[in-house]
Amino acid sequence: MSAPDSPGEGGNTEYGRKSFKRSKSHFADRITADGRDGWPVEAGRYRLVASRACPWASRALVSRRLLGLEEAISLAVVDPLQDDRSWRFTLDPDGRDPVLGIRFLSEAYDAREKDYPGGVSVPAVVDVPSGRLVTNDYQRITLDFATEWTALHRPGAPDLYPQELRDEIDEVMEGVYRDVNNGVYRAGFAMSQEEYEGAYRDVFRRLDWLSERLADRRYLVGRSLTEADIRLFTTLVRFDAVYHGHFKCNRSKLAEDPVLWGYVRDLYQTPGFGDTVDFDHIKRHYYMVHTGINPRRIVPVGPDLTGWLTPHAREALGGRPFGDGTPPGPPPVAERVPESGRPPGVAAA
């Protein structure tokens, strides 16, 4: 993203006088099993750079965990707060990423294309040997994790993008992206009352549709977790903490919809989902970086996070989270979410 108070997430964002627009990712090379774009799947070669605050990057965090790719592609977590050079590695000793040796993600962008005019966004995959950005295509990265990295998946990894369900998954994801994933941003960064109200209506029209769809099924498509659930989860888990107030999507809280609240708690309590969520990073990023919306940078104390641990009863709908597979093991020690980012009483893993 290129606007001063934008989150630098999921591609660039253009702020016109009357509208908000999320543009396509500029660097759309793919890492594939056959290496047809010049980037073959190879264990240890690439580094995923992500922000735990960013819903678009969080898709990659969840997918990587579910598929067991932690040893195949290493992880760099950036500071949730940015300066004028965007995402920075100030959480690491000496403010440098220990693998890439850089202070700012922009350095990997510059190594790929000097004076690139767009913003610096996450998720980003960097080629470790050259230090060059490979891709920031947030829509494609997780699909390729599921379909191109299969030789490096853990035993028992789920099929997150099954061939026989792809048309339905794609259709569901398209509506979720337009009206929910991106819809909350269209509402939050609206430049006119009319634009805001249109986005607001889209968000809740789609949430109502999702609530109806999920009333009698545990997952969005089929009887197991898919890419569609990952993409919806990363917006829903932020809804009450951020989008309800900060982005003015305030018709109702997620916790006031029994179906969606049960669904998102079910996912949060599933290994690979909640153990990637850092509520501290989420709140500090949105409320402190978006100074155009929140100029005093005051971070709300609430909402109460203990509800995330309560029973959801979604098991009664049937289905198996991992299909014929198994849950992922605990996250690597170095990747565990700090206590400050977890609901009270939640162990690191």
Which sign does the torsion angle of CA 63, 68, 74, 75 carry? positive
CATH topology of domain 13-152: Glutaredoxin (3.40.30)
- Does residue 348 have a pLDDT over 70? no
pLDDT grade for 79, boundaries at 50, 70 and 90:
very high
Mean pLDDT is lowest, of 9-18, 25-34, 207-216, for 9-18
- Does residue 319 have a pLDDT over 90? yes
Mean pLDDT is lowest, of 8-12, 54-58, 334-338, for 8-12
User: What is the C-alpha separation between 70 and 247, in angstroms, rounded?
Assistant: 33
pTM for this one?
A: 0.94
Mean pLDDT of the chain: 94
pLDDT grade for 8, boundaries at 50, 70 and 90:
low
User: What is the C-alpha separation between 125 and 101, in angstroms, rounded?
Assistant: 15
Name the nearest CA neighbour of 35 among 120, 151, 139, 142: 151
Please report, rounded to a whole number, the percentage of residues in the chain having pLDDT higher than 90. Answer: 89
pLDDT at 3: 36
Tokens at 163, concatenated: 């061939």
Q: How many CA atoms lie within 13 A of 323 on its CB side?
A: 16
Tokens at 263, concatenated: 């669904």
Please report, rounded to a whole number, the percentage of residues in the chain having pLDDT higher than 70. Answer: 92
- Does residue 13 have a pLDDT over 60? no
Tokens at 90, concatenated: 């100030």
Q: Which residue among the candidates 54, 138, 161, 196 is catalytic per the annotation?
A: 54
Name the nearest CA neighbour of 252 among 204, 293, 303, 205: 204
Contacts of 305 (CB under 8 A, 6+ apart): 279, 342, 343, 344
pLDDT at 35: 98
> Are domains 13-152 and 167-341 of this chain identical in fold?
no
Q: Known catalytic residue: 249?
A: no
Q: Which amino acid is at 241?
A: A
pLDDT at 308: 97
Q: What is the mean pLDDT of residues 320-336?
A: 97
Q: What is the mean pLDDT of residues 325-332?
A: 97
> For 81-117, what is each residue's pLDDT tens digit?
998 889 999 999 999 999 999 999 999 999 999 988 8
> For 130-185, what is each residue's pLDDT tens digit?
999 999 999 999 999 999 999 999 999 999 999 999 999 999 999 999 999 999 99
User: What is the C-alpha separation between 227 and 148, in angstroms, rounded?
Assistant: 14
- Does residue 231 have a pLDDT over 90? yes
Q: Known catalytic residue: 54?
A: yes
CATH number of 167-341: 1.20.1050.10
- Does residue 51 have a pLDDT over 60? yes
Q: Which residue among the candidates 138, 177, 185, 263 is catalytic per the annotation?
A: 185
Q: Nearest-5° angle of CA 41, CA 43, CA 49? A: 85
| H-assigned helices in the chain | 55-67, 106-112, 138-147, 166-176, 183-188, 193-214, 227-238, 258-268, 279-289
* All structural domains of the chain with their residue ranges: 13-152, 167-341
Residue 331, SS3 per DSSP: coil
Give helix then strand counts, H and E, for the chain.
9, 6
Tokens at 3, concatenated: 């606007």
pLDDT at 25: 72
97 phi, psi to nearest 5 deg: -65, 130
Q: How many CA atoms lie within 13 A of 131 on its CB side?
A: 14
